[in-house]
């Protein structure tokens, strides 16, 4: 086994030289002339960061199996940045084959007793309440069962980031890793039925804690914590996509002090069932400086379409957009037609006017971390499906040993990618708890989402024809994984506009 730790450090230095050169070129000729180079730089950086997180995990645990996985992650990063000869590529795959022979469960290795208990409790709940119905909800695009929502609330999963004084369980110090573990375990059972329930509340909770008024926190946070009010978030618009600064949906102040919303939103997941709708809207001019954040209370509407007509005549219409996967959550197109909201709906009150972009971006940071955790949970489910289905030695199959070497290499790569995404997310969670790490959250989301697509594709392949059948879980994993690189910031926006710009601005 080659020693990759030292070359990886050298690669990090090489990447920094490339970064500095690219920064000078971008300063001279603009970003758009260097988009491909920026994207390559970001992905190389992501692979190196993931390998670094794996090496840190190995050093914390002292575990030989983890050390082998860290070495494999480092080799992958080296290959991505420098390229490898055929001989070295074969050696790397043989390393993965040795990992894939009998990969033990790594989820809690090096974790605290509290985090292990949390994972165990939630895995039991998800296996009992979510997994048995996941395929039916997916194939029928059915409504989320109410017993799952109440069960998640009863377990306290809506309160993890809410301080105790507002009905939550958070102590003085936040524990973002606990939130990620919870999201992983729910997503392992089903991305749509369980994995996404916590994301939208977290986005609004963060906005309220950062910029809400005390009255707003005391009204909405306890309702979110108890599950009495579920949350949806409306940001994307038909003509804007991920360009949040150009949002057009307008909130106009009425003489009474109330607000009137007019405009359209797309991809508003769970908007029908939710009782609290967080809407990024335009209250002034000037790009992102003219945006504010509203929290609208509305009735819950199950199903794929709804219309809410207010006594004053305002209307909110919603239609669920059919999607390849992610069934059950229902992602809505919304149309606001002179829809009224009380003055207190504006997050932060008068002080919140024009702060919507910043509050939304802070919420997106935690949302992107949760998306990374959703990806990890999906990968974990796929990995377990591959382990249970695929023979890893000649003794368990009629196939000769030479035919199984490639299978073992694939299993090893799946295990390494899953663990690397998990450790990268835990590192970003630590930074988030320290009040930093917004760019790391985006980088983690970028990396984990791509890895989930690769992992679920390989597991489907290992299942052969049955992997393509809708009746199998692995086909659901594959189509669900496709959405991860699109929502909460597309790959391209994160790579070029968020991570790439941040790298080029670094000293």
Is 275:300 a contact under the CB 8 Å cutoff?
yes
Architecture of domain 125-226: Orthogonal Bundle (1.10)
Instruction: At 368, list the tokens.
Output: 């992107």
Q: How far is the C-alpha of 56 from the C-alpha of 110, rounded, in Å?
A: 11
Q: How far is the C-alpha of 307 from the C-alpha of 305, rounded, in Å?
A: 7
DSSP element (H, E) containing 306: strand 305-309
pTM of the model: 0.93
Q: How far is the C-alpha of 224 from the C-alpha of 201, rounded, in Å?
A: 7
What phi, psi does 404 have (nearest 5°)? -100, -10
pLDDT of residue 242: 63
pLDDT of residue 472: 93
Is 338:313 a contact under the CB 8 Å cutoff?
yes
- Neighbour-count burial of 497, counting CB atoms closer than 10 A to its CB (0-12 exposed, 13-18 middle, 19+ buried): middle
Q: Quote the Cα angle for 318-154-210, to 5°.
A: 65
Domain map of the chain by residue range?
A: 5-100, 125-226
Beta bridge partners of 170: 163
- pLDDT tens-place values along the chain, 507 residues long: 344 455 788 888 889 999 999 999 999 999 999 999 999 999 999 999 999 999 999 999 999 999 999 999 998 888 877 776 777 778 888 888 888 776 667 899 999 999 999 999 999 999 999 999 999 999 999 999 999 999 999 998 888 889 999 998 876 677 899 999 999 999 999 999 988 888 888 889 989 999 999 999 999 999 999 999 999 999 999 977 666 778 999 999 999 999 999 999 999 999 999 999 999 999 998 788 999 999 999 999 999 999 999 999 999 999 999 999 888 889 999 999 999 999 999 999 999 999 999 999 888 888 899 999 999 999 999 999 998 876 544 334 455 444 588 888 999 999 999 999 999 999 999 999 998 888 999 999 999 999 999 999 999 999 999 999 998 999 999 999 999 999 888 999 999 999 999 999 988
DSSP 144: P
Task: Please report, for residues 67, 330, 346, 427, the alpha-carbon distance to residue 54 in angstroms, rounded to integers and kept in the order given.
Answer: 8, 36, 43, 10
pLDDT of residue 383: 95
pLDDT of residue 103: 62
Q: How far is the C-alpha of 227 from the C-alpha of 401, rounded, in Å?
A: 53
């Amino acid at each position: 086994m080659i020693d990759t730790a030292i070359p990886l450090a050298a690669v990090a230095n090489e990447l920094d030289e490339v970064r500095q050169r690219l920064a000078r070129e971008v300063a001279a000729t603009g970003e758009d002339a260097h988009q491909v180079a920026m994207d390559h730089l970001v992905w190389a950086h992501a692979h190196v960061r993931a390998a670094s997180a794996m090496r840190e995990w190995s050093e914390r645990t002292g575990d030989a199996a983890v050390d082998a996985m860290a070495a494999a992650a480092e080799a992958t990063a080296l290959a991505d940045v420098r390229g490898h000869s055929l001989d070295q590529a074969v050696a790397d795959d043989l390393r993965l084959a040795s990992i894939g022979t009998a990969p033990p469960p790594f989820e809690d290795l090096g974790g605290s007793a509290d985090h292990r208990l949390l994972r165990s409790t939630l895995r039991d709940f998800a296996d009992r309440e979510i997994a048995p119905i996941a395929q039916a909800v997916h194939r029928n695009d059915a409504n989320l069962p109410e017993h799952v929502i109440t069960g998640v609330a009863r377990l306290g999963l809506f309160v993890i980031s809410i301080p105790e004084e507002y009905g939550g369980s958070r102590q003085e110090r936040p524990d973002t890793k606990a939130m990620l573990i919870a999201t992983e375990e729910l997503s392992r059972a089903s991305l749509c039925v369980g994995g996404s329930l916590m994301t939208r509340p977290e986005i609004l909770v963060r906005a309220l804690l950062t910029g809400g008024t005390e009255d707003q926190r005391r009204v909405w946070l306890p309702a979110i914590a108890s599950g009495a009010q579920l949350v949806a978030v409306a940001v994307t618009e038909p003509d804007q996509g991920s360009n949040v600064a150009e949002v057009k949906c307008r909130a106009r102040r009425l003489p009474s002090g109330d607000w009137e919303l007019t405009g359209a939103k797309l991809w508003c997941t769970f908007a029908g069932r939710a009782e609290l709708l967080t809407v990024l809207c335009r209250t002034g001019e000037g790009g992102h400086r003219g945006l504010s954040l509203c929290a609208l209370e509305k009735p819950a509407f199950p199903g794929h379409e709804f219309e809410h007509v207010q006594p004053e005549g305002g209307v909110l219409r919603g239609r669920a957009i059919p999607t390849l996967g992610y069934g059950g959550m229902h992602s809505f197109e919304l149309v606001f037609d002179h829809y009224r909201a009380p003055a207190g709906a504006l997050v932060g009150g008068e002080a919140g006017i024009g702060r919507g972009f910043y509050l939304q971006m802070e919420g997106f940071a935690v949302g992107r971390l949760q998306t990374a955790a959703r990806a990890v949970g999906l990968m974990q489910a796929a990995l377990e499906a591959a382990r249970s289905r695929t023979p890893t030695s000649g003794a368990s199959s009629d196939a000769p040993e030479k035919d199984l070497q490639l299978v073992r290499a694939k299993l090893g790569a799946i295990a390494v990618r899953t663990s690397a995404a998990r450790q990268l997310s835990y590192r970003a969670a630590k930074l988030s708890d320290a009040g930093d790490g917004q760019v790391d959250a985006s980088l983690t989301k970028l990396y984990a989402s791509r890895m989930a697509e690769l992992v679920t594709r390989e597991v489907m392949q290992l299942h052969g024809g049955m992997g393509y059948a809708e009746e199998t879980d692995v086909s659901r994993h594959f189509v669900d994984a496709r959405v991860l690189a699109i929502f909460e910031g597309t790959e391209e926006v994160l790579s070029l506009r968020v991570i790439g710009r941040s790298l080029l601005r670094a000293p």
